Amino acid sequence: MSEKQQYSLLPTAANSAATTTTTPNTTFTKDTAADATRYRRRLRIGFFKLCLVAAAFYTLFWMPLDDDSNDSDNILNERSPSHHHHHHHKGVHKAHHKDYRDRGLAKQYGFAKHMDAAVEQIVEGTLESNIVWDRLAEMTDTYGPRIVGSDALEKSIDWIVGKVKADNLSVTTEDVMVDYWQRNEESLHFLSPTRGPVKLHILGLGYSVATPDPVNGLTAEVLVVQSKEELDQLGEAGEVEGKVVVWNRRFDSYDTSYMYRLEGAVWAEKHGAVAALVRALGPFSLQTPHTGGSIAAKIPTASISAEDADLLERSQRRHQQQPEQYPDWPKVKLVMGATTDLDARVSRNIIVELKGREKPEEVVVLGGHIDSWDVGSGAVDDGIGCFIAWETIRQLSRLDQPPRRTVRVVFWTSEENTSVGGVVYAKNHPESKESRHVFAFESDTGVFDPYGIGFTPSQSQRNLLRDPKSITPMDYLAAAGEYFLGSREDLGYPGAGRHVLPNGGGADIEPLCEKGIACANFMPADPFPLPYSTSPYALTRPPLEQEDSDDSQERHQYHQGEHGHNHLHRRHRHHHHPDEAPRRPVDSGYFYYHHTEADTMGAFTPEQAKQSAAVMAIWTYIAAESDIEF
């Protein structure tokens, strides 16, 4: 019997007579009714299976992601060799999700196809060479650090202008009157009763005066304090007068610690101190004091290393707790020959411009500050910020068509001393119908792995009463980050540079921000994300234990070779790819280098320089090509 006959709901001709009962209204026999019940049951089971297959197909190939916030983490796990086979289908699944998501973002936010092509061209052009790193290395190797007012700064500016002209870009300069502070000779010794003079590590602070005798210096007892409140209490008791105040406040964050560098001498001077020394503003030290600006006082002030500040504190405590064994209050000899000439020199802002094709009157300005302190080479703060902006406009000029809006790169001068370069720029380029800034973008926190941007909308957008469902500038940029950067894997790690955080701004663009213009800052990832480090100084080869077996050494070597990271614990078995390191926006790691002798080309790699340049160029292109008000 055929399957169709067996499960037919109607009687067949062959068995019709045999199965019909004498009851007139009865059509089926009991056997036929049972067959029909089984058929219906199989239909229900088949339909249920079909629904399961359809649901699985929809989930695997079509359903959009509900929450894409952890895409980078998922992608990171998929890239791990140990997860490759397990996540093969998941990778296909995510690829379909990405396509679906990208189509939705492009439609909702107006990301045109030509923008995709431009971004690809920007990335390809930026990554094809190490020109960013090579140019910065050449300048810093040739001219060194560039404190404002120095010949080194002006020679560096001349060098840059010549190179920009060679790039066939439009470049001009504008004069800025600047102060000229010079460090000159300086030294600090701890006068140990048992060791004799012990040389300590010192960097005078900007605008500090010299010691009364610039050659022989001054000698005085130290008074180590932790806070302004402690100083005030000791000052009221008459214990500060005639002493060298040592601010030994441990670093917790720059925002909470830098006031001691800025005003420490002024506070100490009010209580009769003869000098002020400030613990280096950094989370880590290898005898590296941090210089920086200070409010001019009548007493000299300098930064000392964290190790030396702790040495003086321990010596003071021993004297206080064991005066019979340590009868002498600790003393130091400080020599400083610093000088300050106000409004003594003319420096220059460098301005490079690419006219917009449709809205040349709307300006997207970006850049960094070309001056630095007089230690290290000024590569991190802020040579690299200027050079990735330079590479940004160089790449945008190579596109098939320039962005809609004008792009202007500025190398601001004198940020470290009074930020007058930014003030002069804002004054010389006022807002008008012929030219107005719509987006200001600064890079001044170094370059490591790219993380994203900080952003503050314009005052007009902040004041706008809008429909809750309408697209805000923050919405637009967040979507753009996901669309153009969220799935990239060629800029250091998956999704590098895509993040958009609030509160954008910077010292050089502050005058523009105060006018209500939308402001943003380039944000690298912290160079020391725990528990791993992306610093080029991090060890990359683990020490192999001599007692390890050949097999364990082979496995250890494979682990290191695959993942390229040093594990400090013997036979560490956490199989983390370096890309799995939890990135966080730049934080305390930047201050390993900030204003120190460690501010050199060794703080970042050529790859990090060009990847960061690519990210800055993409964000600049997004701002300049869009037609929304930020």
Residues involved in catalysis = 415
Euclidean distance between the first and final Cα of the chain, in Å? 76
Distance (Å, whole) CA 41 – CA 443: 69
Q: What is the DSSP letter of 596?
A: S
Q: What is the DSSP letter of 539?
A: -
511 burial via Cβ count (<10 Å: 0-12, 13-18, 19+): middle
Nearest-Å Rg of the Cα atoms of the chain is 34
Q: What is the 3-state secondary structure (H, E, C) of 186-229?
A: EEEEEEECCCEEEECCEEECECCCCCCCCCCCEEEEEEEECCHH
CB 222 within 8 A of CB 364: no
Which pair of tokens denotes residue 578?
A: 């370096």
Instruction: Compute how many other C-beta atoms are within 10 angstroms of the C-beta atom of residue 425.
Output: 23
Exposure string (b/e) for 449-461, b if CB count within 10 Å is 16 or more?
bbbbbbbbbbeeb
Distance (Å, whole) CA 579 – CA 278: 38
CB 181 within 8 A of CB 149: yes
Largest CA distance in the chain: 133
Q: CA–CA distance from 249 to each of 242, 282, 493 (Å)?
A: 21, 11, 36
